[in-house]
């Protein structure tokens, strides 16, 4: 089952004759109405306008966070909830803030942080059954995640062994290939040396033949002179 989210919008109802407070209240009211009508972009505009008047309004910050969350802007929504959690004093409102922070963390599978957020929500409002349900679900999901990780770690040694065997086989093949190349080079060198030796021997034989022929010619001349 999917986790539940608090979507209750908070806004001040205290009437005031001051123009600024009245305008802030009006923006919060109109933003809440737009939110309930699923007009989240327009609701965001009104909540931002309320915060321009009172930047430290936790009601405006929380409502803006909810509006951003409904627009799939989880990161921006989390920033709003974190800001609200630092300045909000009311425990019921803090419980809702931490609850929604837990929802965002749970959706991104950050289960340890998510569990802490739900626990903080319950510290401020121990009677919130929705948060208690979400906490139990997050704890189960964390347990499943850890079991899957342990299973993967058990399988990895075999994979590592297979990879090592594969690397060793590749290394042996490379060594064999290098040996073959060296042997071929040695055979080529031996063959070249033999060819050079044969060439030298042939040259020497040619020289000897020439010398012998010259001596024979000279001998003939000497014989003829005689």
Please write the tens of the pLDDT for every residue from 132-142: 999 999 999 99
Is 141 a member of any domain? Answer: yes
Residue 218 has pLDDT above 50, yes or no: no
Q: What average pLDDT does range 166-188 have in this prediction?
A: 66
Q: What average pLDDT does range 43-61 have in this prediction?
A: 96
> Using CA atoms, how far apart are residues 103 and 92, in angstroms rounded to an integer?
17
CATH of the domain at 28: 1.25.40.10
The pLDDT value given to residue 15: 42
Give start and end residues of each alpha helix (H) in the chain.
19-36, 40-53, 58-70, 74-87, 91-107, 111-124, 129-225
Is 151 a member of any domain? Answer: no
What domain count does the chain have?
1
DSSP SS3 for 57: coil
The pLDDT value given to residue 206: 57
Q: Tokens 């979507």 appear where?
A: 7
Is 57 a member of any domain? Answer: yes
Is 79 a member of any domain? Answer: yes
Is 102 a member of any domain? Answer: yes
Is 37 a member of any domain? Answer: yes
Q: Which of 9-18, 70-79, 82-91, 168-177 has the least mean pLDDT?
A: 9-18
> Using CA atoms, how far apart are residues 223 and 218, in angstroms rounded to an integer?
9
Which residues form the domain of 87? 19-146
Is 219 a member of any domain? Answer: no
| Confidence category of residue 183, pLDDT binned at 50, 70, 90 | low
């Amino acid at each position: 089952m999917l986790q539940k989210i608090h979507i209750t919008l908070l806004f001040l109802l205290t009437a005031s004759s001051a123009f600024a407070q009245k305008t802030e209240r009006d923006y919060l009211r109109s933003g809440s109405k737009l939110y309930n009508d699923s007009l989240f972009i327009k609701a965001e505009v009104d909540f931002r306008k309320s915060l321009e008047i009172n930047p430290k309004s936790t009601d405006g910050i929380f409502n803006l966070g909810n509006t951003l969350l409904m627009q799939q802007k989880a990161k921006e929504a989390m920033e709003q909830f974190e800001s609200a959690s630092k300045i909000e004093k009311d425990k019921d409102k803090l419980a809702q803030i931490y609850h929604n922070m837990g929802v965002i963390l749970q959706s991104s599978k950050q289960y340890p942080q998510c569990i802490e957020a739900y626990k903080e929500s319950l510290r401020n409002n121990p009677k919130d059954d929705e948060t208690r349900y979400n906490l139990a679900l997050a704890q189960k999901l964390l347990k499943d995640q850890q079991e899957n990780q342990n299973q993967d770690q058990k399988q990895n040694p075999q994979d590592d062994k297979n990879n090592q065997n594969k690397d060793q086989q590749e290394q042996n093949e490379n060594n064999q290939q290098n040996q073959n190349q060296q042997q071929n080079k040695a055979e080529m060198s031996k063959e070249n040396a033999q060819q050079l030796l044969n060439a030298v021997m042939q040259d020497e034989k040619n020289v000897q033949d020439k010398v012998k022929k010259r001596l024979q010619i000279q001998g003939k001349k000497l014989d003829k002179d005689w």
